[in-house]
Chains A and B, each alone.
Chain A
């Protein structure tokens, strides 16, 4: 059972455009939602994270939007740059279990 569903699988955006990646979760016990960025040959690196007591969190060009009632959250990358080309994973954890449950990932390509 996939507890975190991520879409799209792949995304191509022009430089300067907005990249949007969406995730939906099922487990209402989840209360920590991080996004990870992974470059080829590297491990995932934490990009930004949100807890459900806020509906939006912004760090530089990266914004998480969170909709608790819909059990959905999304990552927006403003002014996308070729250096943002990577695989992005949403994740969730909470309840009595500290493990991170990851989405399947989105391969983002930003064309120059």
Chain B
């Protein structure tokens, strides 16, 4: 069974631009969560989608948004990029929503904002 895939793997953008990252969960998984990983702040939860509905949201500004499609694939969008948005963005999928369900992480998208 294929793992979680994220595209693109690397991205370079300039301040003010917007970016869209994509995540394809493991087949059959309906929950997708997004995390931001930085050396200073570690892993921080962005949001979780289950059956196309946002179930949970972390403490990030409205510039960060996401959505989930009927096939469970998910995208996250960051508008008006800032230097501080440079990070590894990780997507994790699980069979269903709920914290006892193991989350499987993808390799991440490395975003660099210049």
Contacts and interface: CB of A to CB of B under 8 A. Distances in A.
Given A32-B99, A100-B99, A44 B90 contact: yes
B58 A103 contact: no
Interface stretch (A63-71, A78-86, A90-98): A90-98
Interface residues of A, number: 24
Interface in B69-114: 90, 92, 97-100, 102-108
A100 B103 contact: yes
B19 interface: no
A43 B33 contact: no
A99 B104 CA distance: 14
A97 B97 CA distance: 10
Given A45-B105, A94-B99, A105-B42, A99 B56 contact: yes
Interface of B: 4, 33, 35, 42-45, 48, 55-56, 58, 90, 92, 97-100, 102-108
